Structure 1
Amino acid sequence: MQAAQETPDRPPLDQGALSDAAFLSANGIPQLTVVESTGSTNADLLRGVSVDPGAWPDLSVLTAEYQSAARGRLDRHWEAPARSSVSVSIVLRPVNAEGRPLPTQSYSWLSLLAALALREALLETAGIPAELKWPNDVLVRGQKIAGILAQLGPMGDGAVPPVVLGTGLNVSLTEAELPVPTATSVLLEHPTTVDRTALLKSYLSRFATLYRSFCNADGDPAAGMAGGPSLHKRVEHVLTTLGKQVRAQLPGDHEIIGHANRLDDYGSLLVVDAAGHEHVVTAGDVVHLRPWTPPGEAGGESGYA
């Protein structure tokens, strides 16, 4: 029987390093606020951009040591011990270099762009290879290490509609502290570091680079970005969902079973059923997306877990 894992030391975020003027300026971050505790950083920023839009310009960041009412997609609740995670939200007001707003249909790519940035940060900072699961999860060896939630803020008077993008990364959670058996944490993946400040800075830096490149391409996912392949190609390359048989559960007990083929221009998943019909599954509609094994084949219905 495996020995119980000791609770790791959990130092606070290094506010000095996070508020360093050179770091913020290099990444175009106008402000970065660290709070000890809050209900939800996403909820705080959604309220902030509603009450005082001018106080939260593009790429404003709010991070918390502890969240008591964090929410994921479809209002799913999650909670982690204080200082065990990176819990961060960013205000986005997407415009190109000339100040022209991006088309709102391009907003559907922002969660995937954030997941890609986090994957790069995990690999380069902690030595952990990760993959993406459509529409908004980051996985390591098939286990969820992070989730991302993008929420549209209020439409202003002709202003760019803001997006609040929240990310929750499990860092020092022990096996006993994981919210579900299908989760994991940086600590459990034999990392080179569990320094939350380093992970957060790396994530923000990579996100800012990809985001600015995406905005300057007018939100075109097929455009080359940041000196390399397009966002569309980069995401598809590390998306573990593609090439597999999946079951997409939709509202009203509707479901689609088929082969996850590719992403369309709006970041939706294209699933081809047994009859050869192609279905468009959008991130806003899907309730669950899981691997699927035909009954009677090896594995039976284990893919539903």
Structure 2
Amino acid sequence: MGHYIANLRDIQFCLFDLLGREEILGKGIFADIDKDTANGMLDEMKRLSENEIAASFVEADRLGVDFDPKTGEGKLPEIHIYVSASFAHVAYSLGTDEQKKIAKLMLDKGWTATMVLTEPDAGSDVGAGRSKAVKQADGSWHITGTKRFITSGENDLGENIMHFVLARPEGGAVGTKGLSLFLVPKYHFNWDTGELGARNGVYATRLEHKMGLNVSATAELNMGEKEPCVGYLLGEVHDGIRQMFKIIEYARMMVGTKAISTLSTGYLNALSYAKSRVQGPDLTKQLDKASPRVTIIHHPDVRRSLLTQKAYA
């Protein structure tokens, strides 16, 4: 069992008392689910998250990531593969009929995906990005530029990676309005079968050094230096920022969820420890040398600290 503890009581309170989700159970698409079934599903997710998933995170965080300069690949925990579903949804909902095949292949083949925005001189000011895209006779685009801080920028989880890259088409307007979103595969592929072909011209040139989250292969990507980096304009429309925000919104909510989960499990671990750690007598009996020792949760300052944690968690 790992260190993670799920606050099931708080989740149930939010779902059924605060949000009143019980009202929609047994109706419409939730016709087969009642409150007992929902609670059973939550119980099973709690068991899974506190055991197998938590254990995999502990191992992955201790090991960190490996980067092989020869192949440009890094290793990631298996859970990363599930984020591809949100990228595939964007490709399917905003892509052309032909590009919808990419979305299907991402799910069927287990391809991973990345969100590629930041550049060395364009972080929060994403409109200052210099990566360029030049249209080719066959309708594809050749992309050049360097991107930084790309989560899972290179990995060996799936046989292919679909990079969602913001770049400025040749002659495009300045600022964010001039950016377009391109689908850039790690390997070229057969659009009908998913069979892989030659390597595309997008490579990880290094891993970023970070204080935390070392399990994530945050990489620098170089496009178009070794050979042409071929990309496909999403939806055949130049509306990159709006399209990318479909991914950003999901990703940023997950960052918030991760923060809440970290705070919550930190509090629950502290609470568990405070209930088991015996130290000193009760404050009201501290002058009595024969008074029994108590767990530290009995001490006012510890209780105050726990209440502060609970308020934030």
**What TM-score comes out, normalization by structure 2 length?**
0.25
Greater C-alpha radius of gyration: 2
Q: TM-score, normalising length from structure 1?
A: 0.26
Structure number with the higher strand fraction is 1
